[in-house]
Structure 1
Amino acid sequence: MTNPGPPRTVAVLGTGTIALGWTALFAAAGFDVRIASTRADAEEHVERSLPQYARSLPGGAVPPEKLGARLSFHRTVEEAASDAEVVQENVLEDLSLKQDVFRRAGEASPGALLLSSTSTLLPADLGARLDRPGRVIVGHPFNPAHLVPLVEVVAAEDADPADVRAAVDFYARLGKTPVVLRRAVPGFVANRLQSALLRESIHLVREGVVTVGELDDIVTASIGSRWAVVGPFQAFHLGGGAGGLRHLMAHLGDGLERGWAGLGNPPVDAALKEKLLTQADEAFGAHSYPRLAARRDRAQNAVIAAVREAGSADDAP
């Protein structure tokens, strides 16, 4: 990234769920946001969607019209990227498509920081059509992108360390928690953890141990609230009492592999899909998506704020 000083203009490529979250957050942070989308009704779509994001921003609700005043819409990737210092890509998870988008964005703005919201593709592959492939850096958010603090920053081996630092600084400026992965692995970290838990959740529902709704209640009433405060390793460290993780591993470590061997590996066949969908309809179908999303966003903001406040209290003299 060759532009001096903090960025002022961001190009958002795409208008899907993740792109909308980024758009609202960028605009709320004071950036001018240049949007490129293949949708014929892109401007109307963003205008309809923006209120949902505007009222649940981490710093408090912002009038949608105030956010909208910072947005501009462009017909092509080149137009959106040409005056941008940062490009956040959010197009379909199609490698060839993303490679072409980054080639075009990179040529249109040689000094821009090129970031991808991909959840599955590796940065070296994304930048393959650029003169410097390592220029593309993954900035993978966790949904909803405007609320959840984590951004996984993933760079290719030949990435310029200055670009990685610029990506970290950019996300930190937004109030995010950027974590640089030490090496690129498929699925990154957060989604791999989520996938492991989801697999066992589906196994337990398939075996009739719990329903979809009951499984969610168990998670939110136990490990979900715990993990909002401490991660898995610190939780087990505390579980070992004064002796910490060393004490726990000495007593329970040998049984870990036996426990893992008993976990499920359910086949995702038609019968399982129908069971999951039927139970999901029973558990969540009474409420519309906007209502469920609004409830989630309010609660998510409350949890994040409470944890932050508790941490500040610990640091107080």
Structure 2
Amino acid sequence: MSRAEQEQVQEQEQGPVAPPRSVTVVGAGTIGLGWIALFLGHGLHVTVNSRRAEAPAVVADALELFAPFLPEGTADPDTFAARLSFEPDLERAVAGADVVVENAPENLELKQELFERIGKAASPGALLLSSTSTLNPDHMGARMADPSRLVVAHPFNPPHVVPLVEVVAGEGTAPGAVQEAVAFLESVGRVPIVLHKPILAFAANRLQSALLRESVHLVREGVVTLEELDRVVTNSIGLRWATVGPFLAFHLGGGQGGLRKWLGTLGAGLERGWEVLGRPSMDDATIRSLIEQAEAAYGHRTYEEWVRVRDARQTGILRSLAEADRAGNV
């Protein structure tokens, strides 16, 4: 009997799996901190696994910074401390957790070691998630006795605000684990998209990388400055893509004929247009120019101040879209 069939029989015998109440977050870097805030906001008990002595102070600062921008209806930040604990020992941190979310650096050997240890120490039914932006779950779980519970759940930064989470399974991942991952992510207000097959860098980062490449080209060639390029995006395609995706945008761009008409007229020269897109060299001069322009444009505010600006704007957009959907019965 396959693992999937075993899970189906188990569910029929035991009934639906109880929703997770405890999460262990491995790593307190940028992504881990966002996850911690999100999970606490949704009433979960969170154990933070970090060997940094200053981890409690770092988490406290992040919660103060992120809490105002958590989704509406989440828990009062005053309740967070009672559901938050710290455990530097990995095995003790994951023991008994319903969900483990790993956020270590993008180093395959490191992640293989972590998941080998997590697999031995975590409960057999624990859901094991990785925030990796590039790695295949089969590769990360290569040293595990049972990698069937390991699923990629790649968030888009900042994870406490941006809803998307890319869910990626490996050949050794049990279908039930993917379903549990989707259900868990939806329970904390995320929008999980299950990729139909693994691909390097997944989907969202590949799109971002393509746009970044042309952005660097336009700035490098002096067409616009770095700050002007940002304003070009936020006042055009950024606004458009916050409401409709690229394909729906061009489907609407074709008027009554939709994408069929657009591809036959305006879109007929797409390949010729792609041929003239830039392939900028990231040499020392280019890197130096980008850094200097970024510091000149954005150096008047601290990191924390820009985070508040970013999260306030993105939260405002999400709330406005939700209101528009409710008003229009979308």
Per-residue CA distance 1:17-40 (angstroms, 9 max, x = gap): 110110011011011001110212
Report the Cα offset of residue 235 of structure 1: 0.1
* Separation (CA, whole Å) in 2 of partners of 1:188 and 1:91: 18
Pairing partner for 2:100 from 87, 90, 112:
87
* Separation (CA, whole Å) in 2 of partners of 1:186 and 1:71: 34
Counterpart for residue 224 of structure 1: 238
Report the Cα offset of residue 173 of structure 1: 0.5
* Separation (CA, whole Å) in 2 of partners of 1:17 and 1:124: 25
Report the Cα offset of residue 253 of structure 1: 3.5
Aligned residues: CA RMSD:
1.5
Q: 1:61 to 1:177 in 2, by over 3 A?
A: closer
* Separation (CA, whole Å) in 2 of partners of 1:209 and 1:41: 45
Q: Which amino acid aligns with 2:248?
A: Q
Taking the TM superposition and a 5 Å limit, the aligned residue runs for 1:41-56 are: 41-56=54-69
Counterpart for residue 255 of structure 1: 269
Per mean C-alpha deviation after superposition, the further-off stretch among 75-84 and 192-201 is 75-84
Pairing partner for 2:143 from 94, 116, 129:
129
* Separation (CA, whole Å) in 2 of partners of 1:173 and 1:236: 32
TM-score, normalised by the number of residues in structure 2: 0.92
Per-residue CA distance 1:83-116 (angstroms, 9 max, x = gap): 1010000111111111111111111112210000
Taking the TM superposition and a 5 Å limit, the aligned residue runs for 1:22-171 are: 22-59=35-72, 64-109=77-122, 110-171=124-185
Pairing partner for 1:282 from 296, 308, 313:
296
Q: Which amino acid aligns with 2:328?
A: D
* Separation (CA, whole Å) in 1 of partners of 2:174 and 2:148: 7
Taking only the aligned residue pairs, the percentage that are identical comes to 52
* Separation (CA, whole Å) in 1 of partners of 2:300 and 2:75: 29
- 2:119–2:146 CA contact under 8 A, matched in 1: no
SS of alignment partner, residue 55 of structure 1:
helix
- 2:34–2:160 CA contact under 8 A, matched in 1: yes
SS of alignment partner, residue 171 of structure 2:
coil
Taking the TM superposition and a 5 Å limit, the aligned residue runs for 1:167-178 are: 167-178=181-192
Per-residue CA distance 1:52-78 (angstroms, 9 max, x = gap): 011211226865442122111102111
Check if 1:297 corresponds to 2:311: yes
Q: Which amino acid aligns with 1:289?
A: Y
Equivalenced residue count is: 316
Per mean C-alpha deviation after superposition, the further-off stretch among 39-48 and 207-216 is 39-48
SS of alignment partner, residue 69 of structure 1:
helix
- 1:138–1:154 CA contact under 8 A, matched in 2: yes
- 1:134–1:155 CA contact under 8 A, matched in 2: no
* Separation (CA, whole Å) in 1 of partners of 2:49 and 2:238: 37
Counterpart for residue 13 of structure 2: none
Q: Which amino acid aligns with 1:41?
A: E
- 2:99–2:127 CA contact under 8 A, matched in 1: yes
Report the Cα offset of residue 231 of structure 1: 0.2
Unpaired runs of 5+ residues, structure 1, are none
Q: Which amino acid aligns with 2:28?
A: T
SS of alignment partner, residue 87 of structure 1:
strand
- 1:124–1:134 CA contact under 8 A, matched in 2: no
Counterpart for residue 220 of structure 2: 206
Unpaired runs of 5+ residues, structure 2, are 1-6, 11-15
Counterpart for residue 315 of structure 1: 329
SS of alignment partner, residue 101 of structure 2:
strand
Q: 1:133 to 1:61 in 2, by over 3 A?
A: closer
Per-residue CA distance 1:255-284 (angstroms, 9 max, x = gap): 000000000000000000111011111110
Report the Cα offset of residue 159 of structure 1: 1.5
SS of alignment partner, residue 80 of structure 2:
helix
Report the Cα offset of residue 46 of structure 1: 1.2
Counterpart for residue 239 of structure 1: 253
Per mean C-alpha deviation after superposition, the further-off stretch among 93-102 and 61-70 is 61-70
Taking the TM superposition and a 5 Å limit, the aligned residue runs for 1:13-28 are: 13-28=26-41
Q: Which amino acid aligns with 1:11?
A: T
